[in-house]
Amino acid sequence: MKQKILIQLILTLVILTLSISGENYIYKVKKLNGEALVRHGAKEKWVKLSYGDTLRPEDTFFLDKNGYIEIEGNKILFKSDGGIIINISDLRRLTKEELLLQLAFEEMKSVPDVKKDKSNAKSTGIYGTEIEKEKTNLKTGWNLTNYWVKGVSALFENGFYETSAIRARNLMLKFDELKDNIELKMIIATSLEKLELYGEAISELNKILLSSKDKNLNARVEQKIQELKMKLASLRGDK
């Protein structure tokens, strides 16, 4: 019981910290090809997204697989091909401390007692609208989890290593079919490596080794772990 209360207090602190750090930037659609939809805030209805439209951190957009989009704002330019769903709040940089805090937040949400109560501990400081199973007016037959995963890849490719790692972790916890997704696991580990958080990256790669039975993958992961150990030793000044 005491442990549950302590975890809840930590979760509350994380939410408050991230909410305070959030800023309400405005973004603009600079280029757009293909079918695109946007959901404003917590609304379930998706409406057409057009060239020149403005977007805010609480918005989420969908881009069909044959599309292309460029979004500018907050001194960034995001470019991506289609087949993605992205929360605008993910188009931002974080400090290493904020990243590790949010990753810890996601881990704590997976604790059984907290998982039951997570509907009462939603964080909008980073995410905007909480991701749930999609119940929208999007076309039937689309596998929306794949669009979320490709959205994470697009964040990573645009250099948003912090939010791509957080979003990847969040998706793995939200969707049962993604809990063992290797692409998301590798994005988390590689993002941490890009940010020179080598110890944390090694920890993520070790998780892959524990769950994977793919010998070729495991060999590549083990090689990467050795490389990161050397980088970590160099960073620490070990001889």
Helix (H) or strand (E) run with residue 77 in it: strand 76-81
CA distances from 94 to 11, 125, 164 (A): 18, 12, 11
User: In the Cβ-directed half-sphere of 161, how many Cα atoms lie within 13 Å?
Assistant: 15
pLDDT-derived band of residue 218, with 50, 70 and 90 as boundaries? very high
The length of the chain in residues reads: 239
Q: Look at residue 203 and tell me whether its pLDDT is greater than 60.
A: yes
Looking at per-residue pLDDT, the higher value among 227 and 18 belongs to 227
pLDDT, tens only, 124-135:
334 444 444 444
Interacting residues of 237 by C-beta distance below 8 A, sequence separation 6+? none
> Cα–Cα distance between 231 and 233 in angstroms, integer?
5
Percent of the chain's residues with pLDDT above 90: 60
Q: Look at residue 65 and tell me whether its pLDDT is greater than 80.
A: yes
pLDDT, tens only, 88-135:
999 999 999 989 988 888 877 766 554 554 444 443 334 444 444 444
Q: Look at residue 206 and tell me whether its pLDDT is greater than 70.
A: yes
Q: What is the pLDDT of residue 108?
A: 78
Looking at per-residue pLDDT, the higher value among 156 and 3 belongs to 156
Cα Rg, the chain, nearest whole Å: 18
pLDDT-derived band of residue 15, with 50, 70 and 90 as boundaries? low
> How far from each other are the two terminal CA atoms of the chain, in whole angstroms?
46
The overall average pLDDT reported for the chain is 82
Q: What is the pLDDT of residue 183?
A: 95
Does this model's pTM top 0.85? My answer is no
Contact 190, 229 (CB under 8 A): no
> Cα–Cα distance between 82 and 18 in angstroms, integer?
29
Q: Which amino acid is at 215?
A: K
Q: What is the pLDDT of residue 151?
A: 97
